[in-house]
């Protein structure tokens, strides 16, 4: 059951699991300072006091977030993320004409280790020497909406992404590293990039998780807003 909860788009809610659709521009968890306390987790906890954080999306990213209800559910979901039993798919629009060299638009893999750039936080960087293993699967999106003309001209390319690991800013850094930063990325895209947007064009479109109580695998999807 979802119900009516102001400030929240609820896709699923029961006694163990919440699935929420986060808009771009809203923090997933509180930040530093009194002006950064409004966030998805705080709004969820106002409706469900036992709601607990399991994973996050960047403030600029929209899409699906799951939360646990109670510590037992949090442990179960956190273990599922740790053991890579959670499937996630994102949609992004990246700068430039990205071509898939694999036949039939098969999934390719970006395999580049990542490291937090401590001198330029919150940025991350590719570090072949000391970075943590990081892998992202990608392919060209089979859906090219007519209302997004950039995706048809070579100025930008619409892609689907599946993170295998879950490093900070992984998708954003991996795409920058192959020469195609995400459109609207104020941290990783060049200021003079031909493709422009008033938000980061990255959306968490699908997530499949084992239910923390029953173990049943549940798939949720959120239409891409761009």
Residues identified as active-site: 58
CB 212 within 8 A of CB 17: yes
Tokens of 140: 């060209």
* Other CB atoms within 10 Å distance of the CB of residue 160: 20
Q: How many CB atoms lie within 10 A of CB 3?
A: 8
Q: What share of the chain is helix, strand, coil (3-state, %, to 5)?
A: 20, 30, 50
Asked if residues 90 and 202 have their Cβ atoms less than 8 Å apart, the reply is yes
Distances (CA, A) of 1 to 14, 71, 89, 169, 179: 7, 21, 24, 32, 43
Q: What whole-number distance in Å separates Cα of residue 48 and Cα of residue 45?
A: 5
Rounded CA-CA distance 131/210 in Å is: 30
């Amino acid at each position: 059951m979802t119900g009516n909860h102001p400030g929240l788009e609820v896709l699923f809610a029961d006694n163990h699991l919440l699935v929420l659709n986060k808009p771009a521009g809203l923090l997933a968890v509180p930040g530093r300072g009194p002006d950064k306390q409004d966030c998805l987790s705080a709004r969820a906890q106002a409706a469900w006091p036992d709601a607990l954080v399991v994973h996050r999306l960047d403030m600029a990213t929209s899409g699906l977030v799951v939360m646990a209800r109670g510590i037992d559910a949090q442990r179960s979901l956190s273990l599922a993320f740790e053991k890579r039993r959670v499937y996630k798919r994102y949609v992004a629009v990246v700068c430039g004409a990205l071509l898939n060299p694999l036949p039939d638009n098969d999934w390719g893999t970006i395999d580049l280790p990542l490291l937090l750039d401590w001198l330029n936080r919150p940025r991350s960087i590719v570090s072949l020497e000391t970075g943590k293993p990081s892998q992202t699967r990608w392919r060209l999106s089979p859906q090219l909406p007519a209302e997004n003309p950039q995706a048809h001209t070579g100025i930008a390319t619409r892609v689907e992404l599946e993170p295998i690991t879950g490093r900070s800013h992984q998708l954003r850094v991996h795409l920058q590293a192959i020469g195609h930063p995400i459109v609207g990325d104020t941290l990783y895209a060049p200021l003079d990039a031909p493709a422009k947007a008033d938000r980061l064009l990255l959306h968490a479109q699908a997530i499949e998780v084992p239910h923390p109580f029953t173990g049943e695998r549940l798939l949720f999807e959120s239409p891409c807003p761009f």
